[in-house]
Amino acid sequence: GQNIDQPTEMTATEGAIVQINCTYQTSGFNGLFWYQQHAGEAPTFLSYNVLDGLEEKGRFSSFLSRSKGYSYLLLKELQMKDSASYLCAVLDSNYQLIWGAGTKLIIKP
């Protein structure tokens, strides 16, 4: 079966750095996505990785290791508005998105 694992909840302090991990086992791989979802809202696109390595975009970076079936989202200089759920999703061989359950990130002052 297809499976994506990420921590249910994480807590971090404003101004700090947090890393959210995601491991996956899917039938085929055509890329991994990170989305941010605030409560009651639809997901918004953060990043897309299809090759191994680190992709940096402002305060957010995403890393992928295909051989390990592993990715992480790194958030720097945390702000209160970063409090949200972060969803890891893998595009499988049928170009279908397989979603993780999401990691709820709580930012404390």
Closest approach of other proteins to the CB of residue 40, in Å: 7
Q: How far is the CB of 103 from other proteins (least distance, A)?
A: 10
Comparing CA positions, the residue from 27, 9, 8, 36 lying closest to residue 101 is 8
CB burial string 39-58: b at 16+ within 10 A, e below = eeeebeebbebeeeeeeeee
What's the CA gap between 71 and 62, in Å, rounded?
A: 7
Size of the site for other proteins (CB under 8 A): 18
Handedness of CA 93, 97, 100, 101 (dihedral sign): negative
24 touches other proteins (CB under 8 A):
no
Position 91 contacts other proteins (CB under 8 A): yes
**34 or 72, CB closer to other proteins?**
34
**Of the residues 45, 53, 57, 58, which one makes contact with other proteins according to CB under 8 A:** 45
**Where on the chain is the footprint of other proteins (CB under 8 A)?**
31, 33, 40-45, 48, 87, 91, 95-97, 99-102
